[in-house]
Amino acid sequence: MGTMGLALPWEARISEEQCHKGRTVDPTETTSRFSPAAANVSREDSALAAACRAGDLRAFERLYLLHASRMKSIARNLLGTATDAEDAVQDTFLKIQRSIASFRGQSSFATWSFRILINTCYDARRSRMRKKEVAQDEPEENSPRPEPRAAVSHPSLRLALERALSQLTRHQRDVFLLYEVEGFRHSEIAAVLDISETASKNTLFQAKRNLRQMLEAPRSSAAEAR
Amino acid sequence: MNINCNDRERIFLDGTPEEWTALKEHAAACSECEHEVEAWKSLSVAASELHQEWDSPALWPRIEQALQQQSAAAKSPWWGRLLGNWNLTSLQWQTAAAALVLVAVTASAIWFIVRPPGSKIPADQALFNDHTVREVEKAEAAYEQAIDKLDAQAGPQLENAATPLMASYREKLQVLDSAIADLKSQAGMNPGNGHLRRQLLAMYQEKQDTLEEVLEAKQ
């Protein structure tokens, strides 16, 4: 299944005003939407897996060059800070090296790597929560603070969205982040999260509907207040 | 294409580009649909801004080094990793010898605790039954919990290792973590293997002792 019809196409999803700003609102991305299965990537996918299996560090470097940027972004959205995100990416590469022998090629190598990344992020979240429980008596100033992000055109909506995202189920959050934030296709999300494409579409729809409700409520009450 | 308000949700879920175009045309004359389509679009716009890119020039060299270390470690047996990769040059030899004796004593103590009193383990009982496996897993979970607590307390001390001794403790803990991860993975594939479980318990004990030593050194 392609990108079209899975949700709003880019030109419909993004307002015309937004089309002239920034990376994510470029309508040309309709064709360049991230795809580990895209021709140029898929050609070297199996070769890359084979080279990594053979222990070739240059192959790992190639994997890094191809996907580290999106890996960092996903990890940052799941973990909150750039430092934690980079640690998670490092752990992911170590896990890939440890378990490459078990990669049987049922999915693309890139998809498999992103699946490891997401599991690594949730492991890190769990470990952080355990440590927080232990250190809960320590003074508040020791707890990590969210890092500031780059300037965006809708800062208040983005902040509200970040808060609302944390209230979604893990599945809804993962699908939303992969599709809407990172530009994965539903077929790729299905492979990364080990669900069907239909489930991916339904989950995205539910996630967006929940987010809309969460984000709409304060706006409605504000309007009532006026 | 005829589209009305009832089609809106279906198109949001799985509409074709043609249906989207028709919905937009319908929305131009329907304020409710216009509002809904705009809200749906603004979510995508805000979401796209959550994608963040930043330079990390030090990240790949760090990963490459870690991959090289892991690759080298994988080529030697776990006990080789424990002893070989432990940077003895940064330690006083007495400390290293004491640590080795400690490992041996701890492993022996655990062996005697785990082994049923007054009985030899016959070869056919080298595998645990389901009940025993559950018991052992419970004990391991308790160990892990206790160790996590110690880890959290010793963490700051280890992260800002100000002395060679503290740096050595940190290296030792890294090797122990690696050995524990290996043993856990082997035990996961063969949960009834008593020998692996004993080795794992010995590693946990060693890690616990090391963390306690770190905390003592802190005081």
Does the distance separating the beta carbons of A77 and B62 come in below 8 Å?
no
Query: Is residue B53 assigned to a domain?
Result: no
Query: Looking at the structure, do residues B66 and B44 belong to the same domain, yes or no?
Result: no
Q: Could you tell me the residue ranges of all domains in chain A? A: 37-148, 149-226
Q: Cα A57–A62–A63 angle (5° rounding)?
A: 95
Q: Give the span between the Cα atoms of A66 and B31, in whole angstroms.
A: 44
ipTM confidence: 0.73
Structure tokens at B211: 């963390």
Architecture of the domain made up of A149-226:
Orthogonal Bundle (1.10)
Using CA coordinates, name the residue in chain B closest to A162. Answer: B50
Does the distance separating the beta carbons of B17 and A12 come in below 8 Å?
yes
Query: Looking at the structure, do residues B27 and B80 belong to the same domain, yes or no?
Result: no
Q: Which amino acid is at B76?
A: S
Query: Is residue B43 assigned to a domain?
Result: yes
Residue with tokens 């999803």: A13
Query: Looking at the structure, do residues B40 and B69 belong to the same domain, yes or no?
Result: no
Query: Looking at the structure, do residues B98 and B76 belong to the same domain, yes or no?
Result: yes
Structure tokens at A193: 């999260």
Query: Looking at the structure, do residues B204 and B109 belong to the same domain, yes or no?
Result: yes
A37-148, what's its fold?
Rna Polymerase Sigma Factor; Chain: A (1.10.1740)
Residue pLDDT, tens place only, A150-166 = 545 566 777 888 889 98
* Start-end of H helices in B75-193: 78-84, 93-114, 130-159, 164-189
Residue pLDDT, tens place only, B147-172 = 888 888 887 777 776 677 777 788 78
Using CA coordinates, name the residue in chain A closest to B12. Answer: A7
Query: Looking at the structure, do residues B96 and B39 belong to the same domain, yes or no?
Result: no
Query: Looking at the structure, do residues B42 and B83 belong to the same domain, yes or no?
Result: no
Q: Which of residues 67-86 of B touch A (CB under 8 A)?
A: 67-68, 70-71, 74
Between B111 and A201, residue with greater pLDDT: A201
Q: What is the reported pLDDT for A154? A: 61
Query: Looking at the structure, do residues B127 and B191 belong to the same domain, yes or no?
Result: yes
B38's CB contacts (< 8 A; 6+ apart) are none
- Domain ranges, residue B99: 59-218
Does the distance separating the beta carbons of A76 and B14 come in below 8 Å?
no
Q: What are phi and psi of A166, to 5 degrees?
A: -70, -15
Query: Looking at the structure, do residues B162 and B201 belong to the same domain, yes or no?
Result: yes
Query: Looking at the structure, do residues B109 and B194 belong to the same domain, yes or no?
Result: yes
Query: Looking at the structure, do residues B132 and B171 belong to the same domain, yes or no?
Result: yes
Q: Give the span between the Cα atoms of A180 and A68, in whole angstroms.
A: 18
Query: Looking at the structure, do residues B32 and B104 belong to the same domain, yes or no?
Result: no
Number of structural domains in chain B:
2
Residue pLDDT, tens place only, B14-54 = 888 899 999 999 999 999 999 999 988 888 888 988 999 99
Overall pTM > 0.80: no
Query: Is residue B86 assigned to a domain?
Result: yes
Mutate to test the interface with B, among A1, A6, A8 (most CBs of B within 10 A): A8
Residue pLDDT, tens place only, A79-111 = 989 999 999 999 999 999 999 988 888 788 999
Mutate to test the interface with A, among B8, B52, B157 (most CBs of A within 10 A): B52
Does the distance separating the beta carbons of B47 and A176 come in below 8 Å?
yes
Q: How many other CB atoms are found less than 10 A from the CB of residue B136? A: 20
For CA atoms A146, A152, A157, A161, the dihedral sign is: negative
Query: Is residue B54 assigned to a domain?
Result: no
Q: Give the span between the Cα atoms of B65 and B59, in whole angstroms.
A: 10
Q: Give the span between the Cα atoms of A174 and A178, in whole angstroms.
A: 6
DSSP state of A145: P
Q: Give the span between the Cα atoms of A15 and A99, in whole angstroms.
A: 43
